[in-house]
Amino acid sequence: MQPEVFEELMMTVLVGGLVLFMAFIVWDLAKKSKAGRFGSMILFLALGLGVLGFLIKTLVIAGLEGL
């Protein structure tokens, strides 16, 4: 396996794992702080925007490399 392919695979897998772990942390924080439905929604929205930014960045870079 080429190092570039391995790096790309590990980046995708490990960042995905990190996102799932962060979602668990936010869920646990919302549960322990008794944030309620609206507070939990706001917490997950903030996390979701960060993940969305990462995905958009990945798509933009892939699009630019394809040109």
Q: What is the pLDDT along the chain (67 residues), one digit of tens a residue?
A: 888 889 888 988 998 898 899 889 989 989 999 989 999 999 899 888 888 898 899 899 989 987 6
> How many DSSP H helices and E strands does the chain contain?
2, 0
Number of domains within the chain: 1
Closest CA to 58 of 2, 3, 19, 1: 19
Domain limits at 14? Answer: 3-66
Q: What is the predicted pLDDT for the residue at 60?
A: 94
Q: Do 44 and 22 meet the contact criterion of CB atoms below 8 Å apart?
A: no
Q: What is the predicted pLDDT for the residue at 48?
A: 83
